[in-house]
Structure 1
């Protein structure tokens, strides 16, 4: 096992395109860290730089205490699981699992021991004689995981390994990967575009967009305190509701004017109130998670909204609403739901509101990143906003 340290890593392609820009953070020994973001954000490029499959244009990469910028992939003591299973179709499961060990010159007894141990951990023991064509998608993915596992590397790299599986298999294989990590205690770096995978698997998550790190933190810290509008709307399903308008003040009380005669009460506390006060007469963006809105009786502290859609999904329901010229989604219990076309009134918990500057898109009360020797350590509970 080993920690990884990325210090200002940068990837610039010959045409001048910057794939990764100034990536600095540490992956702790034994940690399962997830890189997440939309397509083209640089997450797979960053993983391939760690693997040695992409040349590093700038900065420094260390595995343990060793700088590996110019070390060949085979000498980095890492194992990578790709999106495609890439199994040898003419080989059995056992032969696929042991092939890399055979190439490294290990003895038959050692190969057999490692293969059977990996098969036991991944519940492949009854499939060792089968060919890949006789396996399900989930079984093939487990063989791909096992092929990395038998190498006993310092670091596992997983590049969207579940994207070819259906929803049910993705859920069960997520559980297997999490269990495997707890059992092995090996450092893992997992890449995905799926925010559900990121939230359920990662001990910490690195959120990327356009090649730059947006925030590093634990899953629930990211959900509860997104550092900017991108993180706020990327993590969470449905995404965070955003309301924009002018901040107004009446009798010392602050509100966000989101439409003609429609004011949303704002009750920020402490230093945050001073910052919001500075937006009086200016535009501000406020976020509320779907579960932080509720149906209420009409009153001065509620928002009127028109029901545009009702989506019951079993244990909960979602209301799609039009409010103040914008759209909102509310998460509710699936009982006594309003009908399409009804006007409802929304209450909210002011303490659950998120405040963002519409120009910089940064959270008003974001905590500055902690830097240790130029490396962003990403401590739990700390928001890391891109300036």
Structure 2
């Protein structure tokens, strides 16, 4: 396997559109790195530049220490799995798995050995004689993965490989890909717009927006300490609650003066570094699981009207309204008041996130 390194990589199209701006990061040997962001953020363009399917306008791309800016895709020793399975309908599973090796002139015995190994790894041994039309969506995706596996490349590139599957199959294939990565110890770069896929699969995640890298870190570090409002809202389902107001302070601690009332914040750990923000507008962030009905541990800090409880089995999402502002609370199963009732809500001061009102950068 090999490392993949990008140094100030940029992609500008002939019409002047900047798809990727100054991207710099390294995918470690054997690491599974996920590129995540909304449609049009540049993640697939980045992947295609690594594959050699898009030219690089500026910067340096290296694989295994070798600069590959001008190297043809077939010479980069990478294997790519696309969103559509791209299987040959007239070939059976075994032929689809081995076709790339056949084109490269590998001996027949070696092709058969590698095909058997990949089929065994992916649970396709009983389907080697079947054609793609006879396979389920999950089996077709396994064949597409197997076609990359038999190559034994330095780097695997996966471009939204699960987006065509239903929810149950996506979950099963996420587990499958994670298992394959552990078994192979392979270097993988995985593109997705699904933040659940990103959080569950990635050892590290690159979050992109508008062609610009917003933050690179481990899944839980991104969740616990988002660098800006975009990352805070993009990662997490339901999304982080945001309240805009003027930061105030007195002997009893900090408070946020909003258009709908004053919210006491207590003494957050960041209080010392928030001194320069007193009297200034900022944005307060609070994850749904940290906004709870008030109790002895979480004294009441704001009131909101319950609009719709959403029981989903092991938890309940409370859709709330604080003035015109929509909030969401994630609570364990419990008896709830009727929709339309007012709820007193509390939170622990150490669970608060603070962001600049202009620009959205994290404070403290």
Work out whether the TM-score is over 0.5. yes
Mapped to 1, the partners of 2:272 and 2:323 lie a distance apart of 26
Distance 1:164 1:364, change over 3 A: same
Q: Return closer, same or farther for 1:173/1:261 CA change in 2, 3 Å cut-off.
A: closer
Task: List 4+ stretches of structure 1 deviating above 6 A.
Answer: none
2:315 alignment counterpart = 316
Any residues of structure 2 matched to 1:152-231 within 5 Å, and which? Answer: 152-231=152-231
* Alpha-carbon shift at residue 257 of structure 1 (Å): 1.3
- Could you list the per-position Cα deviations for residues 257-290 of structure 1 after superposition, in whole angstroms to 9, with x for gaps in the alignment? 1244432324233xx3233222222111111100
| Equivalent in the alignment of 2:286 | 288
* Equivalent position SS for 2:277: coil
Counterpart of 1:329 in 2: which secondary structure?
strand
1:267 aligns with 2:267: yes
In the superposition, relative to structure 1, how do residues 328 and 93 fare at CA in structure 2: closer, same or farther (>3 Å)? same
2:59, 2:119 → 1: CA distance? 39
SS of aligned partner of 1:223: helix
How do 1:298-309 and structure 2 match up within 5 A?
301-309=300-308
CA contact (8 A) 1:11 1:18 kept: yes
Aligned to 1:127: 127
Rounded Cα–Cα distance in structure 1 between residues aligned with 2:79 and 2:339: 53
CA contact (8 A) 2:253 2:264 kept: no
2:362 alignment counterpart: 363
The residue correspondences of 1:57-72 to structure 2 (distance < 5 A) are 57-72=57-72
Distance 2:181 2:244 in 1: 42
Contact 1:265 1:301 in 2 (8 A): no
Gaps of 5+ in 2: none
Pairwise mapping of residues 53-92 of structure 1 onto structure 2 (< 5 A)?
53-92=53-92
Task: Quote how far apart the aligned CAs of 1:213 are.
Answer: 0.3
Secondary structure at the counterpart of residue 221 of structure 1: helix
Between the aligned partners of 1:38 and 1:267, the Cα distance in structure 2 is 35
Contact residue 252 and residue 266 of structure 2 kept, 8 A? no
Structure 2 distance, partners of 1:275, 1:185, is: 42
SS of the equivalent of 1:278 reads helix
The SS at the match of 1:304 is strand
Is the contact made by 2:315 and 2:333 (CA closer than 8 Å) also made in structure 1?
yes
> d(CA) in 1 for partners of 2:245 and 2:235?
23
TM-score (norm 2): 0.97
- Count residues with an aligned counterpart: 363
Cα contact 1:13–1:19 (8 A) shared by 2: yes
Residue 293 of structure 1: CA displacement? 1.1
Q: Is the partner of 1:22 in helix, strand or coil?
A: strand
Corresponding residue for 1:34? 34
- Look up the match of 1:368: none
Q: Is the 8 A contact 1:148 1:156 kept in 2?
A: yes
CA offset digits 1:10-44 (Å, max 9, x no partner): 00000000000000011000000000000000000
Aligned Cα root-mean-square deviation (Å): 1.3
Counterpart Cα distance in 2 of 1:129 and 1:223: 45
